[in-house]
Structure 1
């Protein structure tokens, strides 16, 4: 069954309707773990976490869809990762949640870091998965990370012209994302699921524009290296050895940039792919339970 989304209104970007989902009924007596999705995905990225009793016993799971993703919409048509970080914090405020941990996959990792910088009194700890804190730099490519400029630019160019109401995101685009995220062994069922989810989310000219802006953000984002000393909360970074997008070598360098946190730990997951929460949920879920138990 699809994850049931709700929406909440927040003031950012001229007024926004942000889509979110709780795994179970909210319990104010437990910590909250915000889940931030990767590029072009949705709250459905965290099905394995929503289904796990141990994680749900440890925390309220709250998945929030970023600008340009899922059912989240804004009045203003342009957005960046900073905007998504602000909107996520406004969602927490609107839901009456004073403090939370944040777990983010890929782009969700740097949104988590941005949330921690913007609201150190709110964010109790971050769990970046399969991510980078850099821009799409030559430095990161030399450390074995992908060429995000080469990956994103053709799609940005292809999505430049307005389209009709009958447009849906091409399956070739989705397959490229799935290949980078899940690796070559994506099952037929998983592939079919994400084809349908992408084609539900990205339809018509509004869908084209949101996907293009999300692609521009991925390619042209600002790096965070000089800002990471403003993160004050504990960090547990999980990085897979089979990640085709960001490398363990990059993570080993960048974890050392969190110089003002109580603890910054890198956990390497053998065989882990880029969408680590989906491909290796046992590792991710166990790490989240331990981390929250230690720092809540």
Structure 2
């Protein structure tokens, strides 16, 4: 009897995840699949499930796969999946919630520290033969305030790290409950005004696209640090560029961008004051396994009517 198919919009999956899906035939879309590639693979293989690593799944792909039951994200962000189209077709959408929380929170911490301590700039100067001890002043983070937009698994983990640095932690998340005592919840305008560091940890939605724009950046303290390990669409990129150039923003540490991979003429390229990484916050050896396992268990839970937590 022919096995049901799982389409992976990537080139691989952790061996541990493949073991969970041993009763399925696996099809891989490659390292950089386009939306059209995914539609064609859905048409050719009619998968029961799609595990989304790169690119995304639109209505055309869903219509090309009449057997599709579940779209399972290899990670926490589902903005590349047309969730309205999935709901209209009775297709479940699942995310690997919390599977990469440690990895992404650590990346946010690294970017914050790199911005405050000018780590890449000083490294480049040292390699060029300079010794800037008498002229350089870094920013001390202890006692300063970090404002977190989003207090899910990643935001809470980052908050704990910031608290350990003796930073004051404020946060905005209308859905968060049972928060630890070291997080003070505030509205967004208060967060913009009080934060010395702003770190984004929320999903991208139609309501918050361009959340950090010219208006909100103008409300911030002069010299604020901006960190984004969530989704690039949360930031109005030209507005952030202008704010860094003017000094309103001291530095920006970014792991995500409005268009990925970034284009040759991307506005931040070559600009001082920007520390960039290629959306790899969740890409660690541990997170690779954790996200793969969670995505695979979510596939089986929906396709077979099982409890994901009970799947070995």
Taking structure 1 as the reference length, what is the TM-score of the superposition? 0.35
Query: Which of these two proteins has the greater Rg computed from alpha carbons?
Result: 2
Higher helix share: 1
